[in-house]
A and B are shown apart, each in its own frame.
Chain A
């Protein structure tokens, strides 16, 4: 089954304790991205990656890091989480235009609480 998986699904942590949210897709997609969803603000892009070793900032990258060492994986790293990073996080992937079209496939989400 074609899917984007994220782990963990729920995480409660304390300020300053480094954490990583993993994202993996099994569709051989080149493009992957991370979004955060907050009430009243919709979905905002954090980082995206066009391919292995190619990443770029989205609209709200402050406080986050990413890496893309393998095509299927795109982890999101919070090196020193703060309470304002409490949010619902989504990973998404998309194939190249002309093959899979423009559709982005989203993972199930990771609900992060930073106290």
Chain B
């Protein structure tokens, strides 16, 4: 049973456009929702994360929107750049114990010049 569902699998966006990746979760005990960015040949790296007590978090061009009632959260990349081309993973964990991250299956983003 997949606990975190991520869509789309792949995404092509023009330079300057908005990239949107969506995730839905099932376990209401999740209380930490990070997004990881992975470049080819590298390990995933934390991009931005949110706790469920806020509905939005913004860091530069990256924004997480969180909808607790719908059990959904999304990553928005504003003014997408070719350097943003990477695979993005959403994840969720229960923070009060060791935070075993449950990952979505990933979205491969390509930003065309």
**Interface on A for B, CB 8 Å cutoff?**
4, 31, 33, 40-45, 48, 50, 58, 90, 92, 94, 97, 102-104, 106-109
Contact = CB atoms under 8 A, between A and B. Distances in A.
B99 A102 contact: yes
A45 B4 CA distance: 14
A106 B95 contact: no
A41 B89 CA distance: 11
Contacts of A102: 32, 34, 49, 93, 95, 99
Interface of B: 6, 9, 32, 34, 36, 41-46, 49, 89, 93, 95, 98-101, 103-106
B43 A41 contact: no
Nearest to B99: A102
15 contacts: A31-B98, A31-B99, A33-B100, A41-B105, A42-B89, A42-B103, A43-B44, A43-B101, A43-B106, A90-B43, A97-B95, A102-B49, A102-B99, A108-B41, A109-B42
Contacts of B104: 42
Q: Main SS of chain A's interface residues?
A: strand
A50 B46 CA distance: 20
Contacts of A31: 98-99
Nearest to B2: A42
A43 B34 CA distance: 14
The residue in B9, B41, B49, B100 that gathers the most chain A C-beta atoms within 10 A of its C-beta is: B100
| Interface pairs A-B: 10 shortest CB-CB | A106-B43, A42-B105, A43-B103, A42-B103, A103-B46, A42-B106, A106-B44, A50-B98, A102-B32, A90-B43
Contacts of A90: 43-44
